[in-house]
Amino acid sequence: MSAIILRKGANLGVKALYYVVTILAISIVLFFLGSPATANEFSFNFANAEFRNSGQFYLVFAIIFPAFTGMTAGVGLSGDLKNPAKSIPIGTIAATVLGMIIYFFISYKLASSATPEELTNNQFVMSKIALFGWIVVPLGLAASTISSALGSVMVAPRTLQALANDKSFPVKLINRWLSQSRKKDEEPVNASLITCTIALVFVALGNVDVVAQIISMFFMITYGSLCLISFLNHFGSSPSYRPSFKSKWFISLNWFCNFGLGNV
């Protein structure tokens, strides 16, 4: 996938996302239209809900947290946007709100269509609920995986290249090499080689849950650092810090503390 993006450019990845998102949307709709395979459908209400194995909360959180980070994927493509100052806040907020709504109703649909035992023991219980689940759910899972992979393949090299352009690395040769891009389309070839190598190392672990936990740590450190930087610039009244998307300093401090506690 990385080789294809490097050869054809990021525009191909963006175009592919339209088809991937369409497949994913159809899969979600068919899931909501489906019903349990068994006739004994039971009712679910929040009053009767209870937490089980609450000690495993942080383990589950570490595994699923990467699923929520795609909401900010557009930030990494800011260099390819016509008006980043306008598009990024609108896109991020819209993706966050829509994602929260979809996640909520998927959780409710699962809770009302399957027993806790089925949810625990059957990882493909969605295929029993969705219409044409035997084909729709695998296609939806594939589309979800491809969309995440495309986002990472396009965003990670550009982020690494931006760090090199800002001379963030202590060695000048590294900054110069990583900041280089292909002249005809500005694709960050060298940065892509490094990010792909790092990704292959983690893929070689062979355990998705372990990889998800490692990725969660990186994401939480990144988001926590952003919140800390925002707080310090707010609190220090830096004249160069003029974000178009306004926020309060205590919000950044609060989330920095939350991410810090989450990493403990």
Q: Is the pLDDT of residue 222 over 60?
A: yes
Same domain, 120 and 228: no
Task: Please return the burial class of 33, using the count of CB atoms within 10 Å of its CB with bins 0-12, 13-18 and 19+.
Answer: exposed
Same domain, 109 and 224: no
* Residue 50 domain flag: no
User: Domain boundary residue among 123, 140, 155?
Assistant: 155
Same domain, 29 and 105: yes
* Residue 125 domain flag: yes
Give the per-residue pLDDT at 139.
Answer: 92
* Residue 167 domain flag: no
| Tokens representing residue 152 in the block | 């990472």
Pick from 88-102, 182-196, 233-247: least confident: 233-247
Same domain, 214 and 143: no
Same domain, 27 and 130: yes
| Dist. CA 85–CA 240, nearest whole Å | 16
Q: Provide the domain limits for residue 214.
A: 207-264
Supply the pTM of this predicted model: 0.74
Same domain, 132 and 212: no
Same domain, 212 and 151: no
Per-residue pLDDT tens digits for 96-153: 888 889 989 998 898 888 887 888 888 888 888 999 988 999 999 888 888 877 777 8
Same domain, 149 and 234: no
Per-residue pLDDT tens digits for 13-45: 777 888 888 999 999 999 999 887 554 455 555
| Dist. CA 149–CA 158, nearest whole Å | 14
* Residue 168 domain flag: no
Domain count, the chain: 2
| Dist. CA 147–CA 13, nearest whole Å | 9
Q: Output the DSSP codes for 104-123.
A: HHHHHHHHHHS-HHHHHH-T
